[in-house]
Structure 1
């Protein structure tokens, strides 16, 4: 099957449905996340107070939890939201920003993992840490290892959690119980723009909001961000204009863009 077809179909439906995506997310990237969701065709809501969390989750098509700027109050809201989402069948994605760098993060992540995320997306260092909660070689929230080096841990994490696992890097990997998709789009300059991994998680949340196949949704979210970043790079003169052109590219991303530029490999595997 042409790897572009399900992405094109989902993007068309997303722009028609405009799913509401609830984000409890990184304060550093909240505005970027909202703008990217609007550009792709979704509707963002950013609600963090635990007094309204359940009501907002109930109204939403998907939930995004990103622990980038974690505090105990925000962690409490995340746990309430994730538990309620799991109870009512609302799909949700966990972005374990900085996994392995502190006891607080690891404890929060252990509790969130018990609440059955639909999708987990992180860089190689975060996925490695998330699998066993050991300290890993990292530089803040940046990965110091390649996405390929985390593939075995990603497969093991998928098996353990029964969630779709996405590993971001030079090559992006999307892992299900029986399938892997590799996305070979993107550009190294994307690493110089704050929070594009967080944006990828938010876009996955948008496609999860269609309430279809989580593996296809994760693939579409990762592919659209990486492809948009690559196309935006060709118009940019540096990180600032890359971000500027990224939103415009997401907004204008077309069937032709996806068919002509998507570089993806799809294969079955057994663990």
Structure 2
């Protein structure tokens, strides 16, 4: 990690703030609009429901803008973009911007696939997202500094921290770089969370679900950084517990939903390690 990135190392969120945010998700059931990867849509919806949020997969050109105006949060994921869904994504971002609805961008494949890279940049140009969540190569690709192998990352998380900080500063947003240790920055501070389990990389849609969960947590959080960190902590802590009682990725995915639904705010606060 560079000296420049190390300068971000102050932690400005607390376990108590994350627990309060998680409790608010349960209490308020924020309505979360998802324009997401068709391969992952059922899993994404189930993760949000297990967390206690309300979910609406409204991704058509006729309703996306209007619905973004009434949703609590909007998740935009470029996992399987088509011309019509990209049009709906642009409409949803416009609707979110008009209503002041926080939206989360998951720039799947950015940098590795030119068309969707440009789509991601166009969406950001319409209105800055509250959170950008991606793997290291996607964050680097969004800034023009690289790209992965298709949708897979070929860069270490630490290599993207400076790019994430610069992107967060430029857009006035929070950038979450997912990996073995998740790094989240708002341009001023950096949070590291080293929870989770390797089986998370063996379940389709885990990253997509994390982005959507950030869209559910952010509206009820004191800041997008706390919202993104709460979602990250909740999903990765649930994964750790799920892995203890399962034999492989298939049963693990189902158990993760159970553990996410059972994760109490007090348990999250007791277990999470913020660095």
Tell me the distance in 1 between the aligned counterparts of 2:237 and 2:152.
21
Q: What are the residue-to-residue correspondences of 1:46-195 with 2, within 5 Å?
A: 46-114=57-125, 115-132=127-144, 136=147, 138-195=148-205
Question: Which region of structure 1 is more displaced relative to structure 2, 176-185 or 99-108?
Answer: 99-108
Measure the CA separation in 1 of the matches of 2:221 and 2:265. 22
Evaluate the alpha carbon distance shift between residue 170 and residue 87 of structure 1 in structure 2; reply closer, same or farther with a 3 A threshold: same
TM-score w.r.t. structure 2 length? 0.92
Which stretches of structure 1, 4 residues or longer, exceed 4 Å deviation after superposition? none
Which runs of no fewer than 5 residues in structure 1 stay unpaired? 266-271
Report the TM-score, using the length of structure 1 for normalisation: 0.93
The CA RMSD measured in Å over matched residues stands at 1.5
Q: Determine which of 242, 247, 252 is the counterpart of 1:237.
A: 247
Which residue does 1:24 correspond to in 2? 35
Distance 2:181 2:146 in 1: 24
Aligned residue pairs total: 263
Q: In the TM superposition, what is the alpha-carbon distance from 1:211 to its structure 2 partner?
A: 6.0
Quick check: 1:184–1:263 contact (8 Å CA) kept in 2?
Answer: yes
Q: Can you list the C-alpha shifts for 1:28-85, whole angstroms capped at 9, x where unaligned?
A: 1000010000000000000111111122112210100001000111111101110221
Q: Specify every segment of 5 or more residues in structure 2 that has no aligned partner in the other structure, as ranges.
A: 1-11
Would the aligned equivalents of 2:31 and 2:56 in 1 still touch at CA under 8 Å? yes
Q: 1:204 to 1:2 in 2, by over 3 A?
A: closer
Looking at structure 2, the residues matched to 185 and 3 of structure 1 have their Cα atoms a distance apart, in angstroms, of 16
Query: Which residues in structure 2 correspond to 1:239-258 (within 5 Å)?
Result: 239-258=249-268
Q: 1:108 Cα shift?
A: 0.6
User: 1:269 maps to what in 2?
Assistant: none
Task: Give the Cα separation in 2 of the matches to 1:192 and 1:82.
Answer: 31
**Kept in 2: contact 1:61–1:211 (CA 8 A):** no
Q: 1:255 to 1:208 in 2, by over 3 A?
A: closer
8 Å contact kept, 1:21–1:206: yes
